Structure 1
């Protein structure tokens, strides 16, 4: 006969999460409004229950172990889900069940999503909307486990198990400081960037990997001055004149028109996004309306990028 494992003590998990968030037993106690010895006792009981060492203790300092960091990721997912249940209950009580839970990559969270929310709420003034911004893989997890109603992501290669709707495919574009000699060109290629100061996306970015392959084929070696995880940040560095950047088309909205020109990049690097939905969940009329409003906002964003591509070239 298999014994059913007893549930983990929620208070112990709360103490563990509080310590991870604050970096100390004392800080965890302040967060939970209990004493530091009480937090220490809860952590020790959790370690004994799980048969794991979650922290290394060096004098008055603690350092999370590898096991502790891995456990924290799972605990945080649990608490995020729990908090969403509480948010849903609040919405049911205050708005008679009218709530949408939306997750989006950062590229959309700074442009299309705010515009979509503003327009959507004109028709649904009593609706509560929860917005979560994050990485595509994390958002896909939230959609799959039903923590959100809709997600806007870049689907990784090989994920064929998702219910999704592809958005119109666009292309990466080149941002060039307006006073730079390359601003006089209509089209920029890998060879043009040889020896130029360059703001690069992080090495784990799919766009960066494709660009590196093109640089290698063209024997082009830009001087990478700054690396950033997000196109939006790259745009801001180009605004400051530090270098040229290759970004997704949504980041064009953050490029200062007085300081930066937008140029087509060839060979093209495709930029594709998708809307993902939970399986076996019927989409409400409100969710369908939200999607339609978003699609209109997304097309407006791409149209704005195309307009910037037609900026008059600046003479060198």
Structure 2
């Protein structure tokens, strides 16, 4: 069994690349670092590093341990930040993570008005992939997360903020732009820009084609809807994206059309069920709900 200090040494050696760098970072001597590594390998009966020319190189075993230990250090970092808040009586901070569709446009607009009405607050805000947003919420790094088509696991409290339809986008000079609505059949043989099948939006898009009985074929695959919009603006084809990204990215060079069969896209807020939501976080969530409700059709 490894102690937390041993895991910290292992992590620091891998991240710094040398035992000397790890020693400086941890305030230890280089021999002490080398000795700690040898003790870990003896205790675990696993070789963690390869030694060559007075240097050490992490093996796959060490990299796996590093990856599995990251949630531990994320939780510790969140705890240290909370202790610092308590020490300095600085409880007026709101930490937010979001995926791109809501995080690149709608949430900053809400945050701008919210910050004006809440002087003295400080904020941490970032855009990540949905899996990273979920992890940030679970480990306590952030107070609240936002994303689309969330598949919540245990420990998360979720709230559906609204449901809209995925839309088809193309350039105004594209042949499909003349149609009032675009079907999956209309996209047969057309250069199509698909969202990555490993993303939630990519999955629901592919599922929509399966239900319509139309083969899902694409010319380009991208990781997010904002990139798909950029590809469409460049004239590389058409794409299906969420409506929030379509609104944010539409600079007049995108034509947005309804898509059939309808593919629903739900927006969620989520937070940890292990800790109570702060008053200011609840107020921000209410502001986001009002903003999304104002965007809903009708």
Instruction: Pick the aligned partner of 2:18 from 15, 25, 38.
Output: 25
Aligned equivalents of 1:288, 1:32: Cα separation in 2: 39
Note closer, same or farther for the CA distance 1:28–1:298 as it changes in structure 2 (3 Å cut): farther
Aligned equivalents of 2:280, 2:18: Cα separation in 1: 45
Instruction: Pick the aligned partner of 2:244 from 221, 245, 250.
Output: 250
Note closer, same or farther for the CA distance 1:54–1:272 as it changes in structure 2 (3 Å cut): farther
Aligned equivalents of 1:57, 1:189: Cα separation in 2: 60
1:27-69 Cα offsets, whole Å, 9 max, x none, are: 954983878776555444443344433345677673540x333
What does residue range 1-316 of structure 1 map to in structure 2 within 5 Å?
A: 7-9=3-5, 12-21=6-15, 24-25=17-18, 28-29=21-22, 32=25, 40-56=34-50, 62=57, 64-65=59-60, 67-92=61-86, 96-154=90-148, 156-157=150-151, 159=153, 162-216=156-210, 217-220=212-215, 222=217, 224-279=218-273, 281-299=275-293, 302=295
RMSD of Structure 2 on Structure 1 (CA): 3.4
Q: Do 2:196 and 2:222's aligned partners in 1 also have CA atoms closer than 8 Å?
A: yes
Q: Do 1:239 and 1:256's aligned partners in 2 also have CA atoms closer than 8 Å?
A: no
Shift of 1:191: 0.8
Note closer, same or farther for the CA distance 1:36–1:109 as it changes in structure 2 (3 Å cut): farther
1:280-314 Cα offsets, whole Å, 9 max, x none, are: 533332122111222233345x45xx69xxxxxxx
Shift of 1:169: 0.7
Q: Do 1:91 and 1:128's aligned partners in 2 also have CA atoms closer than 8 Å?
A: no
Note closer, same or farther for the CA distance 1:87–1:282 as it changes in structure 2 (3 Å cut): closer
Note closer, same or farther for the CA distance 1:194–1:173 as it changes in structure 2 (3 Å cut): same
Unmatched runs of 5 consecutive residues or more in structure 1: 308-316
Unmatched runs of 5 consecutive residues or more in structure 2: none
Which SS does the other structure have where 1:265 is aligned? Answer: strand
Aligned equivalents of 2:164, 2:30: Cα separation in 1: 54
Q: Do 1:231 and 1:251's aligned partners in 2 also have CA atoms closer than 8 Å?
A: yes
Q: Do 1:101 and 1:131's aligned partners in 2 also have CA atoms closer than 8 Å?
A: yes
1:122-162 Cα offsets, whole Å, 9 max, x none, are: 12222222235433344334434544322223465574764
Aligned to 1:312: none
Q: Give the TM-score taking structure 2 as reference length.
A: 0.81
Which SS does the other structure have where 1:96 is aligned? Answer: coil
Q: Do 1:175 and 1:260's aligned partners in 2 also have CA atoms closer than 8 Å?
A: yes
Q: Between the two structures, name the one with larger relative contact order (CA 8 Å, sep ≥ 6).
A: 2
1:87-146 Cα offsets, whole Å, 9 max, x none, are: 334444556322223232232222223223222221222222223543334433443454
Q: Do 2:161 and 2:269's aligned partners in 1 also have CA atoms closer than 8 Å?
A: yes
Q: Do 2:196 and 2:223's aligned partners in 1 also have CA atoms closer than 8 Å?
A: yes
Larger deviation, residues 79-88 vs 262-271: 79-88
